[in-house]
Amino acid sequence: MVHLERLAPPDSNLRPDIDLVSELGLDSVKVMDLMLDAEDEFNISVPLNVLADIRTPNQLAQAINKLLESR
């Protein structure tokens, strides 16, 4: 969420189920860049092919949890 605040337009209402692309207007490159930060924070690598299915911050958190558990 912290990383998202930096990328989202000012005064957007960030919700866990907001659609990063269609609601928040982030382009695919911004979403990929968001991932670089999240990967460093959790010391994991989220492959782009996994990222393709992710639309909301909630789904992102779930994907990260899954990767952390599978370690």
Partner 1 sequence: MMSLFDKFQSLSDARHALIQTEPSPIGTRIDEILSSTEGRVDGRSVILAGTNNYLGLTFDRDCIAAAHDALDREGTGTTGSRMANGSYASHTRLEEELAHFFARPSAVVFSTGYVANLGLIGTLAGTDDVIVLDADCHASIYDACRLTGADIIRFRHNDASDLEKRLRRLGERTTNALIVVEGIYSMLGDQAPLREIAAVKRRHGGYLLVDEAHSLGVLGAHGRGLAEAEGVEADVDFVVGTFSKSLGAIGGFATSHHPQLDMIRYASRPYIFTASSSPATIASVRTALQIVDSRGELRQRLWANAERLYHGLSRLGFELGPEPGPVVATLLGSPQQGVAFWHGLLDHGVYVNLVLPPATPGGRALLRISVSAAHDTTQIDQIIAAFAALKPMLDHHEQE
Query: Which residues bind to partner 1, rule: CB under 8 A?
Result: 27-30, 32-33, 35-36, 39-40, 43-45, 47-49
Q: Quickly tell me which residue has 């393709």 as its tokens.
A: 52
If the CB atoms of residues 16 and 25 are measured against partner 1, the closer one turns out to be 25
To partner 1, the closest distance from the beta carbon of 48 in angstroms equals 4
To partner 1, the closest distance from the beta carbon of 18 in angstroms equals 18
Q: Which two tokens stand for residue 21?
A: 């692309």
If the CB atoms of residues 14 and 48 are measured against partner 1, the closer one turns out to be 48
Task: Quote the crossing angle between the two packed helices 57-69 and 28-42, to the nearest 10°.
Answer: 40
Q: Evaluate whether 32 touches 51 at the Cβ level (below 8 Å).
A: yes
